[in-house]
Chain A
Amino acid sequence: EVKLLESGGGLVQPGGSLRLSCAASGFTFADFYMSWIRQSPGKAPEWLSFIRNKANSYTTEYNPSVKGRFTISRDDTQNVLYLQMNTLRAEDTAIYYCAKHPFDYWGQGVMVTVSS
């Protein structure tokens, strides 16, 4: 059974940093592209970033809204996906999901609140 479990969310002050993790199981993690997607309360989902697999050199893509502030990475030895979030703003408040490409499996999400 495919499982994706996000962690690392919480309350952070504006300008602060947070690192999210997504522990994957039930599939060959190293073979798949992985994404982070967020959803602000009452809004549509917003794709943030994806990372390709080793065969595609672990290259990454970012939404312009987070490029330069967020960094996606992965550890295929531990089956974990990461999202390092820096210089956080109030508008980054959302539920953050990890998803296996082609978005056929999503985690349950983790809440990030940016507030003073």
Chain B
Amino acid sequence: DIQMTQSPPVLSASVGDRVTLSCKASQNINKNLDWYQQKHGEAPKLLIYYTNNLQTGIPSRFSGSGSGTDYTLTISSLQPEDVATYYCYQYNSGPTFGAGTKLELK
């Protein structure tokens, strides 16, 4: 099984900050990685697919990058509505989600 490790588990940041969330795979996942945002009481929402492709309707302040085992979700200027838990998801083999990063406002 491929393990996905997200860091940090909790991140506190201020409005306007540049925020970087990390996701590390236990083996090469060939960029087969998506990022999801989940707000309380809602289903996860697709933000980024195949590492760096912005899903339709998602603000351009969200971006993704990475390769091999290391992947990053960046929010260029944090907004209050971005408070949520963020999950990475690999579908290279035996699909798995990371444990999530909870993003809070400082």
Pair from one complex: yes
> Does A44 contact B97, Cβ atoms closer than 8 Å?
yes
Q: How many residues of A contact B (CB 8 A)?
A: 14
How far in angstroms is the closest Cβ of chain A from B49? 6
Interface residue A102 (Cβ < 8 Å from any Cβ of B): yes
Write the residues of chain A forming the contact surface with B, with a CB cutoff of 8 angstroms: 44-47, 63-64, 97, 102-104, 106-109
From 36 to 59 in chain B, residues with beta carbon under 8 angstroms from any chain A beta carbon are 36, 38, 43-46, 49, 55
- Chain A residue with Cβ nearest B43: A106
> Does A44 contact B43, Cβ atoms closer than 8 Å?
no
Interface of B is mostly: strand
Beyond contacts A47-B95, A103-B46: 18 other A-B pairs, Cβ-Cβ < 8 A, are A44-B87, A44-B97, A44-B99, A44-B100, A45-B44, A45-B89, A45-B97, A47-B89, A47-B97, A63-B95, A102-B34, A102-B49, A103-B34, A103-B36, A103-B89, A104-B46, A104-B55, A106-B43
